[in-house]
Structure 1
Amino acid sequence: MASSSSSSKKALSLVFYITLFCFLSGSVSASRTSPSDVNSKVKLGLYYESLCPYSANFIINYLVKIFEDVDLLSIVDLHLSPWGNAKIRANNSTFDCQHGPSECLLNTVEACAIDSWPELNKHFPFIYCIESLVYEHKYSQWETCFDKLELDPKPIVDCYTSGYGTQLELKYAAETNSLVPPHQYVPWVVVDGQPLYEDYENFISYICKAYKGNVVPKACSNLFLITNYYGVEQKPVFPVGYNK
């Protein structure tokens, strides 16, 4: 009976990944934004680390919501930065990650995915798949995401085994370490250059508030916009992993 339940869950997961992949492909091609609206896109930055349970929770239960509305997705310029609270060692070519070597590997894998598949409709479903496994404490099975999404593993494997992935991670380290104000924990969510601090799960409200384009997504029209004042630091209400 347990094996049957497990198989059903795996089947449902597979269907979801494929649906997300197809939806993203359609969303990108079906975007109805004008050139002026493209210039009005709101920059959404997520600074995170792969094995942080709070980062995984944000990605699979909150960030994914922007993909439920084509118009909402079309006004967002999403940037993922998989470094988080990692530290560069003195030799400047290796690093220590908060959740150990496995996190360093998966940070690098996700950096390689973003580089190898720069299109959002390819790298986000892959990262979502990995983070779903992290959320389920099954991250050692991350390579199954290639089969689930019918993706060729070669670009990713070549990237992280050649050392190129390390260079990508050092780039994300420099980017994360140059944040103003500095990040204090993960997930660290930034909208148009402004950190959301403890209110990160309310990020869609901030996107809608920051958007200056002509086509207002339905998600924004129906949203009761309550946002914390930008730049006001408060003790996090939602779970975070502190930068130690």
Structure 2
Amino acid sequence: MMLTTVFVAAVVVSAASAASVCSDCDGAEPVDIVTYYEAMCPFSRKFLTTQLYPTMKLLPDNVMNVTIVPYGFAHEKQENGKWVMYNCQHGPSECIGNAIAACVLNMTAYDAREYMPMINCMEVNTRHGHQMEALSKCAPATNMSESEILTCYNSTEGSELHHQMGQITHAGHIHYVPHININGQHSKLIQYNAYNHLLEVVCQAYKGPEPAACKARQHVAIVG
């Protein structure tokens, strides 16, 4: 089975699972958030660590359905039947970070509640050229296996996983990173509001009973 199919199926299962834990949401669908990003892009890192992950932690599982796609504007080619990354926008370190993230997503069955602690840790702690140091710190801190991640990263499977992230990214027709879709929609207005005030955006978009974090939030002006 193509890994892209597995990834898309996992997103659907994640949304269904989130809805199943909601006992009083009156059938409300979770707000679907898809983020295309690059591991070393400063704007991607800021969004993941100061907006996406903190918002996830504040809200119940049933309110948000999160998908991240690590690739951005990388380039790759096939050598001896294996996809090889040869150019990433922020240098070789970013290629490593993207590939590690692709392995982490696959290892957690694309469950955002499982992979986001690790992804957040990597984004907070990684310096250019020091991805492996961050991996050694973040894997045990988030109950993941460093050896399993490295096995994936160094394997044909790892290169294929990253290649599939590239296919998904190309299909998304992105022009910058992070590129944020809310409920399948993207515009400059959606991008601006989500990048700066994601909690407010999710609280406004969610149609179920208002979560405690939404009631307690400091209201900000949403453009539009």
| TM norm structure 2 | 0.75
Q: Is residue 131 of structure 2 the alignment partner of residue 177 of structure 1?
A: no
Separation of aligned partners in 2, 1:135 and 1:68: 25
Q: Does 1:219 align with 2:221?
A: no
> Which residue of structure 1 lines up, in the alignment, with residue 23 of structure 2?
34
Q: Which residue of 1 aligns with 2:161?
A: 168
Superposed counterparts of 1:197-212, under 5 Å: 197-199=191-193, 200-212=195-207
Indicate the SS of the match to 2:72.
coil
SS of the counterpart of 1:93?
A: strand
Residue identity opposite 1:56 in structure 2 = R
Query: CA–CA distance in 1 between the matches of 2:127 and 2:179?
Result: 18
In the alignment of these two chains, the number of paired residues is 197
Return 5+ residue gaps in structure 2 as ranges. Answer: 1-16
Equivalent runs, 1:53-92 vs 2, <5 Å: 53-71=42-60, 73-89=61-77
Q: CA deviation at 1:188?
A: 1.3
- What CA distance in whole angstroms lies between the structure 2 residues aligned with 1:53 and 1:137? 15
- CA drift at 1:226: 3.8
Contact 1:50–1:107 (Cα < 8 Å) also in 2: yes
Shift, 1:33, TM fit: 1.0
Counterpart CA distance in 2 for 1:35 and 1:111 is: 34
The whole-number CA distance in structure 2 between the counterparts of 1:89 and 1:136 is 23
Q: What are the within-5 Å matches in structure 2 for residues 1-244 of structure 1? A: 33-34=22-23, 40-71=29-60, 73-89=61-77, 93-95=83-85, 96-118=87-109, 119-134=111-126, 139-142=131-134, 143-179=136-172, 182-195=173-186, 196-199=190-193, 200-213=195-208, 215-223=209-217, 224=219, 226-229=221-224
Per-residue deviation, residues 134-169 of structure 1 (Å, max 9, x unmatched): 379954522221232342223212211112121111
| Cα separation, 1, equivalents of 2:140 and 2:220 | 40
Counterpart-to-counterpart distance in 2, 1:114 and 1:202: 25
Contact 1:56/1:134, CA 8 A, preserved across alignment: no
Gapped runs of 5+ residues in structure 1? 1-27, 230-244
SS in 1 for 2:203: helix
Distance 1:135 1:126 in 2: 15
Identity %, equivalent residues = 26
Work out whether residues 56 and 64 of structure 2, in 8 Å CA contact, stay in contact via their aligned partners in 1: no
Q: Are the equivalent residues in 2 in contact too, given 1:57–1:135 (CA < 8 A)? A: no
Q: Which amino acid aligns with 1:62?
A: Q
The TM-score, its normalising length taken from structure 1, stands at: 0.69
* Distance 1:172-1:205 versus aligned 2 partners, 3 A rule: same
Partners of 1:128 and 1:50 lie apart in 2 by 10
| Shift of residue 90, structure 1, vs aligned partner | 7.3
Q: Considering only CA atoms, is the larger Rg found in Structure 1 or Structure 2?
A: 1
Q: In 1, are the aligned partners of 2:55 and 2:198 still within 8 Å (CA)?
A: no
Measured after TM superposition, the shift of residue 206 of structure 1 is 2.3
When the two chains are superposed, the root-mean-square deviation of aligned CA atoms in Å is: 2.9
